[in-house]
Structures are given as structure tokens and as C-alpha cells.
């Protein structure tokens, strides 16, 4: 891959900058603070985006390079891949996704994978290199290779990491040690005292023993629970039967009232019948006449007696006898005349009274018939109503009570129903008493089971904790197994190539003084000296180690991507002396002939060395 053109509209302190880059070495020269590092950062940001996350830094790339004096924050890069395909990438850094054009200037942005967090991963798809790897290999900054005596061990470790794992930040040995240490601290084993797994195993054993002593109470409460359930079912059934009987009782009471109404009509019918019978006897002729004569004779006898008394009184007090008899004769005449008149009226009165009684009898007969009909109608209606109510009651309870119970009690009389209601109430009270007794017993047992519940809860938590620890332990074992397999694969494939590259590098930059490097698991990197013995690389000079590290990072590009990535060096040789600068530039030119090299510098040292070595380059002043 080669970068052909950079157009910086606004990025950091840079604006309206256009750079055309060539194959081979591009030397970009500028004073300090001229924007060389910003230009280097523009390349990575336009390819991967300017992140708004700090990622451990004081300020994010987005905030750091956002222009202060313009709303514009954009630029474009044009590059060509090894297969000859050219692309232009325009990016507005305030937006997540760039616009990607092919060589025909067609927008092909949607043809790449979209990541919700980072946006379009076009460059990673094209080269196989993500942003972190790009920074660790293709870009080398001044602070990235600056070494001192105190940091010498660190850079040697980085070289060992790169050789053994392909990543200068990963040490297999330290990673494995850290996994083992974490596994021991976070899990341990059943034999390690006071480690999590041992502690939880001991706790589980203790809780199981305590639980055994309390399980008998749990069995008792479980038995009582079954008994309580049966009693509650019995109570529910008995209460339903009681409700049925109470409704039956209410129905019978209602029927009693209607029956009383029917009896009232029957009694009236009987009373009317008795009255008719009495009146019929009264209108019997001889008896009626006898009664009438008896009444009239009583009147005559009274008048006659009164006249005799008056006559006697006159006889005693009046000396004129003739006058007394003369008084008596008209009285007798009047009585006789009155007697004949009453006798004539007697016949008329008898006939009138008899007719009245006969009329009364007819009225009574009609009333009697009406009462009979009314009683019969009410009785028929009552029987129909009773049957309907029985059917309704049976349907209401048919899903809850047995058919046998319903059929038997539908035909019982009132007194029988009342007795059965009493028995059901007695049964319900008995059940309630037994339930209360069981409840009191259960409360006593539950107090004893409080500890069991706590123990079971603790045991469950402890078992879950053990399972989590075993799962974590298994994860650690899998991680170590995978790490060991990966390390074995790296050692058999990548490490030999890195060792060869490293040996070639040390040979060239040391003028063949050292030409063989080995990597051992226990001692790390060692170098073969002229007498054939091996000494630790840490005994080399800081400058030599510095050269080894930058050279090895550059050579790692061949291992991580099939694409020949540009090498960007930003003030990377500021601490190199002239001899080392000459050696490293000679090494780069020789080993990366087909690779585009972009060197940012503030001095003419690189230019002078390149001229001295007669190496072609393009110089760009900014």
C-alpha cells in the first residue's frame, strides 16, 4: 500500500495543506511545532477515525485535534493497495463514518462492515490491520523508542515479547504466571488453606452436618402440611354443603309461608261449608216456625200478665167492680186483635226470613268455591315453583357437591334439613379447632426450623459460590490450555522467523560482530558472542538495543499483514548517533525496498545520511 495524496482541510493547527507522496522514502522536514506530529496523527485518524474516548490519556484525539478557529474539521487521503486498486477517503471528523470512493469516484461506503461503536471498518478489512496494531508497527514515534539505562530491561522484555508472542506488550511467561497467581488467589484448591475454594468446601461440610440434625422437623411440618391441606379441602366441602342446606332451608321456609296461605284458603272453605250447613238447618220449616212462635208467645204472655196485674190492683183500690171489668174487656179485645194480626204477619215474616237465608247460602257457596279454586291454584303453582327452585339449586351446586348428596337433601323436610345444618356446623367447628391446633404446633416447629431455613439458604449460597469458583477455575484452566497451545504454535511458526530477522538485524547494525540470537523460556533473549558462548542481550549497549527494537517492529509488518504497509517514522532517530543513524537508514532501504517510508524530522541529519549513502528520496518542506 502506498499513500499518494494528503489533503488536510482543518485538523489541529493545520489547514489547507496538500501533500503528494512518492514511492520509497519521503522526507518531511519542518521546524519544531510546525505540525509534523499532527500530520502523522492525521493519517491514522483519517484511516481509523478520531476517537472521543480518552483511553487513558488526558484528552481524547477528537478534542485534541479539533480546530479552535474553524467549524471545519475534515480532510482526505488517497492511497493505492498492492493489488493496484485506488481509493479516496473523505472524512468529516465530527461524523462517525467517512465517505469511501473507488477509482471511478463511486461511493462504496456501504460495501464495508459497519461497527456500531467505531463505524465503517474499511481499512481493517482491506489490510487486516486494526488501529492498535497499526500504531505498534507502522508508526514509530520519538517517545516510543527513546531509551535510557533504567528502561533498558523494559525494552528487552518488549523485544522478547514480540519474538515469542508477536506482540511487544504480551509476555507468555508473565501472562501464565499472572493467570496462575490469579487462579490461586481467586480460586485455590480444596487443599489450599484459607483460599476461596477451601473455605467454601469447609463451610458446605459444616452446613450439611447442621442440616441433618434439623431435617426431622422439616419432615414433620411436611406431614402436617398434607394433613392441613386435606382438612382445608374437607372444610371447603362441608361449608359448601352447609350453604346448600341453608338455601334449602330458606326455600322450605318460603314454601311454609305459601303453604300457610293455601291453608288459610282451605280453612275459609271449611268455614263457609260449616256456615252453609248451619243455615240449611235453620231454614228447616218446623224448627223455624217453632222458634218464631216461641218468641211471639213470650210477648203475649207478658202483655197478659201485665193486664192481670193491673186488674188486680184495680180490684183492690177501685170499689167499682163494673168499671174494672169494663176496663178489662177492651184490653182483651185489643190483645185478641193483636194476636190475629201477628199471626198473619207471622207467615209473611217466616217467608221473608227464609228467602234471606237461602240467598246467604248461595253467596256462601260461591265464596266457598272461590276459596277452593284459589287454594288449588296456589298449590299447583307452589308445586311448580318448588320443582324449579330444586332444579336451580341442584344446577348451582352440581360442580361442587356429589349428585347423591344433592338428590337426598332436595327431598328432605324442614326439620331434617335443620338437623343436618347443625351437624355441618359442628363439623366445621371441629375442623377449625384442629387447624388451629395444627397451626400452633406448626408455629412451634417453625421456630425450630428458622435455623434450618437459614442453613439451607447459606448452603445454597455456598454451593452456588463453589460452582462459580469451579467454573472460574475451569475458565482459568481453559485459558492456560489455549495460551499454551497458542504459544506452542507461535514458537513453531512465528518465533523462528522473528529470531532470524532479529539475528539479521543485529548482524547488520553491529557490523557482523553479533549474528546469532536465541530465545529460551527461562532466560529470555541471549546473543552468541565471538567465542561461541551466549550472553544476555541486556549486556549490549543501549543504542544497539534501541536499533534492534525499531528494526524488529518494522520487520513485524511482514508477519501481521499481506499488505506492504507504509512505515511512518516521527522523529524516530533523534537520539541516534551518526553511525547508528547511517546503519538504520541503510537497513531500512535494503530490507524495505518496496515499502513506502515517511520520515518526519526537524533536522537535516537524515537528508545528509541519505545523500551520503546515495539513496533516492523525496523531500517535502512544511
What is d(CA 307, CA 45) in angstroms, rounded to the nearest whole number? 163
The residue ranges of every structural domain in the chain are 2-147+560-621
Beta bridge partners of 599: 27, 569
Comparing 50 with 308, the larger pLDDT belongs to 50
For residue 462, pLDDT beyond 80: yes
Confidence of residue 558 (pLDDT cuts 50, 70, 90): low
Beta-sheet pairing, 517-520 with 524-528: antiparallel
Rounded Cα gap, residues 140 and 568, in angstroms: 6
pLDDT at residue 286, rounded to an integer: 47
Task: Grade residue 534 by pLDDT with cuts at 50, 70 and 90.
Answer: confident
Average pLDDT of every residue of the chain: 80
Q: Among 63-77, 111-125, 330-344, 408-422, whose mean pLDDT is lowest? A: 330-344
DSSP sequence for 457-511: HHHHHHHHHHHHHHHHHHHHHHHHHHHHHHHHHHHHHHHHHHHHHHHHHHHHHTT
Q: How many C-beta neighbours within 10 Å does residue 363 have?
A: 12
Q: What CATH architecture is 2-147+560-621?
A: 3-Layer(aba) Sandwich (3.40)
Q: How many residues does the chain have?
A: 622
Of 54-68, 96-110, 165-179, which has the strongest mean pLDDT?
Answer: 96-110
pLDDT score of 549 more than 60: yes
- Grid cell listed for 409: 337433601
Region of residue 84 (left: phi > 0; alpha: psi -120 to 50; beta: else) = left
Q: Which residue has the higher pLDDT, 229 or 158?
A: 229
Task: Give the separation between CA 347 and CA 326, rounded to whole angstroms.
Answer: 33
CA distance 138 to 553: 8
Rounded-to-integer distance, Cα 394 and Cα 410, Å: 8
User: Helix, strand or coil for residue 619?
Assistant: strand
Is residue 613 predicted with pLDDT exceeding 50?
yes
CA distance 193 to 199: 7
Q: Order of strands, edge to edge, in the sheet holding 517-520? A: 517-520, 524-528, 534-536
Please choose, from the candidates 196, 37, 48, the residue with its C-alpha nearest in 3D space to the C-alpha of residue 123: 48
Question: Which residue is listed with cell 547488520?
Answer: 508
Which pairing describes strands 617-621 and 74-80: parallel, antiparallel, or unpaired?
A: unpaired
Nearest Cα residue to 546 out of 590, 600, 570, 510: 510
Mean pLDDT of 312-326: 60
Cβ proximity of 207 and 458 under 8 Å: yes
Beta strand 139-141 pairing with 567-570: parallel
Asked whether the predicted pLDDT for residue 321 surpasses 60, the reply is no
Angstrom distance (rounded) from CA 39 to CA 137? 18
Q: Report the distance separating Cα 356 and Cα 362, nearest Å.
A: 10
| Cross-strand pairs, 520 | 524
> Which DSSP category does 106 fall into?
-
Instruction: Tell me 193's DSSP state.
Output: T
Cβ neighbours of 294 (radius 10 Å): 9
Local confidence band at 17 (pLDDT 50, 70, 90 cut-offs): very high
Confidence at residue 149, expressed as pLDDT on a 0 to 100 scale: 41
Residue 527: pLDDT above 50? yes
Dist. CA 551–CA 545, nearest whole Å: 10
**Residue 570, strand partner residues:** 141, 600
Which residues are bridge partners to 20 per DSSP? Answer: 5
> What are the cell numbers at 279?
243455615
Confidence of residue 14 (pLDDT cuts 50, 70, 90): very high
Lowest-confidence region among 240-244, 419-423, 504-508? 504-508
The Cα angle at residue 543 between residues 538 and 548, in degrees rounded to 5: 70
pLDDT value of position 243: 92
- Does the pLDDT of residue 146 top 60, yes or no? no
Checking if the pLDDT of 325 tops 60, the result is no
User: Which residue in the block uniquely carries the three cell numbers 496462575?
Assistant: 180
- Strand 99-101 to 114-115 pairing: unpaired
The DSSP bridge pattern shows strands 14-20 and 25-29 to be unpaired
Burial 197-214 (b: 16+ CB within 10 A, else e): bbbbbebbeebeeebeeb
Amino acid at each position: 500500500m502506498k499513500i499518494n495524496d494528503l489533503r488536510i482541510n482543518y485538523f489541529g493547527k493545520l489547514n489547507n495543506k496538500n501533500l503528494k507522496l512518492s514511492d520509497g522514502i519521503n522526507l518531511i522536514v519542518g521546524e519544531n511545532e510546525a505540525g509534523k506530529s499532527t500530520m502523522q496523527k492525521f493519517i491514522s485518524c483519517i484511516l481509523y477515525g478520531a476517537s472521543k474516548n480518552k483511553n487513558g490519556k488526558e484528552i481524547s484525539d477528537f478534542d485534541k485535534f479539533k480546530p479552535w478557529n474553524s467549524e471545519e474539521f475534515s480532510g482526505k487521503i488517497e492511497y493505492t493497495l498492492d493489488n493496484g486498486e485506488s481509493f479516496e477517503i473523505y472524512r468529516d471528523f465530527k461524523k462517525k463514518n467517512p465517505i469511501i470512493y473507488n477509482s471511478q469516484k463511486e461511493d462504496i461506503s456501504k460495501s464495508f462492515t459497519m461497527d456500531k461503536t467505531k463505524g465503517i471498518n474499511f481499512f481493517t478489512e482491506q489490510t487486516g490491520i486494526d488501529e492498535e496494531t497499526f500504531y505498534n508497527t507502522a508508526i514509530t514515534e520519538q517517545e516510543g523508542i527513546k531509551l535510557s539505562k533504567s528502561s533498558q530491561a523494559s525494552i528487552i522484555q518488549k523485544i522478547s515479547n514480540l519474538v515469542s508472542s508477536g506482540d511487544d506488550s504480551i509476555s507468555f511467561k508473565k501472562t501464565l504466571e499472572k493467570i496462575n497467581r490469579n487462579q490461586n488467589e481467586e480460586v485455590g484448591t480444596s487443599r489450599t488453606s484459607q483460599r476461596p475454594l477451601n473455605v467454601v468446601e469447609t463451610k458446605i461440610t459444616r452446613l450439611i452436618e447442621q442440616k441433618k440434625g434439623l431435617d426431622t422437623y422439616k419432615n414433620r411440618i411436611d406431614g402436617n402440611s398434607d394433613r392441613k391441606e386435606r382438612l382445608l379441602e374437607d372444610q371447603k366441602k362441608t361449608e359448601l354443603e352447609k350453604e346448600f342446606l341453608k338455601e334449602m332451608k330458606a326455600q322450605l321456609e318460603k314454601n311454609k309461608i305459601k303453604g300457610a296461605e293455601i291453608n288459610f284458603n282451605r280453612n275459609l272453605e271449611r268455614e263457609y261449608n260449616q256456615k252453609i250447613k248451619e243455615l240449611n238447618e235453620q231454614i228447616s220449616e218446623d224448627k223455624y216456625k217453632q222458634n218464631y212462635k216461641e218468641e211471639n208467645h213470650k210477648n203475649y204472655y207478658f202483655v197478659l200478665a201485665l193486664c192481670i196485674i193491673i186488674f188486680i190492683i184495680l180490684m183492690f183500690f177501685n170499689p167499682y167492680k163494673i168499671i174494672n171489668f169494663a176496663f178489662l174487656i177492651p184490653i182483651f179485645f185489643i190483645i185478641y186483635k193483636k194476636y190475629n194480626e201477628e199471626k198473619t204477619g207471622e207467615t209473611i215474616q217466616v217467608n221473608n226470613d227464609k228467602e234471606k237465608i237461602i240467598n246467604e247460602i248461595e253467596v256462601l257457596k260461591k265464596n266457598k268455591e272461590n276459596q277452593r279454586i284459589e287454594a288449588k291454584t296456589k298449590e299447583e303453582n307452589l308445586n311448580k315453583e318448588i320443582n324449579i327452585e330444586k332444579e336451580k339449586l341442584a344446577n348451582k351446586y352440581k360442580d361442587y357437591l356429589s349428585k347423591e348428596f344433592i338428590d337426598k337433601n332436595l327431598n328432605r323436610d324442614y326439620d331434617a334439613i335443620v338437623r343436618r345444618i347443625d351437624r355441618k356446623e359442628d363439623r366445621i367447628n371441629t375442623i377449625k379447632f384442629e387447624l388451629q391446633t395444627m397451626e400452633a404446633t406448626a408455629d412451634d416447629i417453625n421456630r425450630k426450623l428458622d435455623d434450618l431455613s437459614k442453613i439451607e439458604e447459606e448452603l445454597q449460597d455456598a454451593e452456588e459460590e463453589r460452582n462459580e469458583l469451579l467454573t472460574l477455575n475451569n475458565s482459568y484452566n481453559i485459558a492456560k490450555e489455549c495460551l499454551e497451545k497458542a504459544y506452542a504454535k507461535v514458537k513453531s511458526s512465528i518465533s523462528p522467523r522473528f529470531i532470524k530477522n532479529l539475528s539479521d538485524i543485529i548482524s547488520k547494525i553491529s557490523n557482523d560482530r553479533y549474528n546469532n540470537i536465541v530465545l529460551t523460556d527461562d532466560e529470555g533473549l541471549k546473543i552468541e558472542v565471538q567465542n561461541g558462548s551466549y550472553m544476555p542481550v541486556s549486556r549490549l549497549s543501549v543504542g544497539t538495543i534501541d536499533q534492534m527494537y525499531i528494526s524488529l517492529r518494522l520487520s513485524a509488518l511482514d508477519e501481521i499483514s499481506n499488505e506492504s504497509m507504509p512505515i511512518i517514522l516521527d522523529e524516530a532517530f533523534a537520539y541516534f548517533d551518526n553511525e547508528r543513524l547511517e546503519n538504520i537508514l541503510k537497513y531500512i532501504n535494503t530490507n524495505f525496498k518496496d515499502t513506502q517510508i515517511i520520515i518526519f524530522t526537524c533536522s537535516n541529519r537524515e537528508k545528509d545520511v541519505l545523500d551520503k549513502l546515495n539513496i533516492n528520496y523525496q523531500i517535502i518542506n512544511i
